[in-house]
Amino acid sequence: MSRTYTVETYGCQMNVHDSERIAGLLDEAGFIPAASGTQADIVVFNTCAVRENADNKLYGNLSFLAPIKKANPAMQIAVGGCLAQKDQAIILKKAPYVDVVFGTHNVGSLPVLLERARIEEESQIEILESLEHFPSTLPARRFSAFSSWVSISVGCNNTCTFCIVPALRGIEKDRPMVDVLNEVRALVDQGVIEITLLGQNVNAYGVGLGERGAFAKILKEVAAIDGLERLRFMSPHPRDFTDDVIEVMATTPVVMPHLHMPLQSGSDSILA
């Protein structure tokens, strides 16, 4: 009988995107989603290190699972995401019964780490400092049949005083435009009508490719794909909101008149 899993997600849209990949990887490894109201054989927490009380939520849920794990040692618990990237040793100190701790750069390693932990009967920690696979290249179990996340970049080159994201997600890495377009076309062929382009600093897209104006270009190219009805993006940075992007938004009906723009500070020195 196939083992079951559940994925608990905290934090931003990129984490939701990554959780779809985690679920897809577990599907591919032969596991199946746990039925609602049942205890899964594998519980994966995809964590956040930015939003308030995200760590308290994690440790509260881990404490809840402790007696269940004690009664059923074959059950496996994995912790990934930004908090795992930041606090891997602390997680195992507070919850030594956790089987796997993995970071933001090696989501694709989870099935192997779970199997290694099962065979060796000891916790596995694997935190990489650079991206193993671009997340959108991994298999996915999408949570909606009609809308989808598509990551075009990962990481951030800004050094905002208050923000830990660059330390956890790394420097910006841009995905080749042809790969993005191929993924969107495939999704539209599957019935998706709404796409949200993702990046920690999504409208800085092109920095890693050495191409100025690449974000406006990719908006136009994606919007032109036949069958796509709505296109959104998040999260942009005010500094990179150039006139060509505004022009595309104003003249392209498929690009929605919607902005998700965090404004944590109005100080140039803090945002520098």
Q: Could you read off the pLDDT of 5-24 as tens digits, one per residue?
A: 999 999 888 899 999 999 99
**What is the dihedral angle through the alpha carbons of 208, 212, 215, 217, rounded to the nearest 10 degrees?**
-120
Q: Which of 62, 94, 126 is the last residue of a domain?
A: 126
- The pTM score is 0.88
Handedness of CA 34, 37, 39, 44 (dihedral sign): positive
Same domain, 181 and 242: yes
Q: Give per-residue pLDDT as tens, 103-129.
A: 988 999 999 999 999 999 999 999 887
Same domain, 181 and 263: yes
According to DSSP, the residues that pair with 7 across neighbouring strands are: 44
Q: Which of 91, 126, 161 is the last residue of a domain?
A: 126
Instruction: Show the beta-strand stretches assigned E in 155-237.
Output: 173-174, 194-198, 230-234
Same domain, 149 and 267: yes
Q: What is the span of the domain harbouring residue 106?
A: 4-126
Same domain, 199 and 245: yes
* 133 domain-assigned: no
Domain count, the chain: 2
Same domain, 19 and 117: yes
Query: Which of these, 87, 137, 86, lies nearest to 107 by C-alpha position?
Result: 137
Q: Give per-residue pLDDT as tens, 210-254.
A: 777 899 999 999 999 999 999 999 989 888 889 999 999 999 999
